[in-house]
Structure 1
Amino acid sequence: MNHTRVRVIIAALMIGAVSSGRSDEQKNNAHLWKPQVSSVTVFKNGLGFFLRQGKVALREGWCVADAVPPASFGTLAIYSHGTNETVDIVGSGPGESVAFDGVDAPADAAAKRVRLEACKFL
């Protein structure tokens, strides 16, 4: 077996270990809303109505969704079953991006590390 093939196999094993560790973190992230399908209705035109339900722990009043399906005809509704809880903001998109250019945020490694630690498990 040549050295290139050995390196490729080792790299593949390392990537698999990193990705499996990341999926474990994602599974344990209480702030990530991962609803499960509880009901499906399929219409004659091929579209469907999917009802998903799931619990999530809020972090400073916020949570993020793993995947939000596109809504046809504006039929996306997100609400809470809690009597003292209200969903008042729902956003979709790539999220907030910060340019570490010395203007938006400091350009040093310490500032980047602080920002990333604050976003951990969000």
Structure 2
Amino acid sequence: MPKRQNTPAAIPPITDFESCQRARPLILRRFADILGVWEVCANKACSRARSCQGQDTACLRAFMQAIPDDDRREIRYALDNRAAGLSPGEAMEQAQARVAGEIARQGE
């Protein structure tokens, strides 16, 4: 089995704007892998590799636009919670509670 190319170790360190631009597609591909976008991707190479193989972010953008708004908010809040230092489980739990609270307040 070939070695996965899209690992966190493969992302170069970000030290300035140019290095950020070089790392951006790798980070977005990694994010697409975490979300499992390859499972619904139209690109057969992604399905076969069970990993994002695209060079652009079209698959990730299409995936994010296709999911319901509540799920998109959950993902955003969970990422914010992870950045604040929470564990993955805690981050998702708090994100789900926050979205549920927003829905209850709005009466949706």
Instruction: Give the structure with the higher percent strand.
Output: 1
Tell me the TM-score normalised to structure 1 length. Answer: 0.25
Instruction: Give the structure with the higher percent helix.
Output: 2
Tell me the TM-score normalised to structure 2 length. Answer: 0.27
Larger radius of gyration: 1
